[in-house]
Chains A and B, each alone.
Chain A
């Protein structure tokens, strides 16, 4: 049993990403969408927080959103994977529930 969490806010604007990471469990997945993709950047004030989780939680960014915002793949934290909308659909199907951190 596992959960897909989606985060659509910049971590520099709200506490949604921090709260999501504080509540997700080992084996869960976190998908950053819309402005949430900024949470996947390396070298930021929240990068350590995110990086620490990549061992126990699978972290993804929605590639359409990171590309739209000009985030090059090499600017993303190691261990973060890009997925397209089909991948988003698979993640929803593969986890028992989806929780949106609005």
Chain B
């Protein structure tokens, strides 16, 4: 079965990105497909490659990047929500005249249409938020 996942809260403050991670790992291990995870609201902050948690804590962004790499999960960060919160990829940083970008490997910035498309193309949609 195809599952779509929405993450709508930021890392560390809320558990949403952790629960979603365990859920997606289990779903894939059980033979389901998770073609896409959509990051919205403060969830876009999960994609920051500048996150440096203490070494004895889980690294939420690295975990997601690894999932994308190992299982081809498309990690989509909402562009409107991302721009508000200072999350930019190289293209957007250039376009907006900013001196840095901060989107981690495995994530890509795109529009809200990707969320709707995910709802249309998957069998189940699960939202993790607060």
Contact = CB atoms under 8 A, between A and B. Distances in A.
A42 interface: no
Interface residues of A, number: 21
A102 B19 contact: no
Interface of B: 1, 3, 8, 15-16, 19, 22-23, 25-27, 29-30, 32, 124-130
Contact of A100 (B22, B27, B127): B127
A75 interface: no
A8 B124 contact: no
B126 A100 contact: yes
A19 to B, nearest CB: 15
A92 B126 contact: yes
22 contacts: A34-B15, A35-B15, A65-B19, A85-B22, A85-B23, A86-B26, A86-B30, A88-B23, A89-B3, A89-B23, A89-B26, A89-B30, A89-B32, A93-B32, A93-B124, A97-B124, A97-B125, A98-B125, A98-B126, A100-B128, A100-B129, A102-B8
B129 A89 contact: no
Given A6-B126, A88-B26, 7 more contacts: A8-B16, A64-B22, A89-B26, A93-B32, A98-B125, A98-B126, A102-B130
A41 interface: no
B106 to A, nearest CB: 21
Contacts of B15: 8, 34-35
Nearest to B18: A34
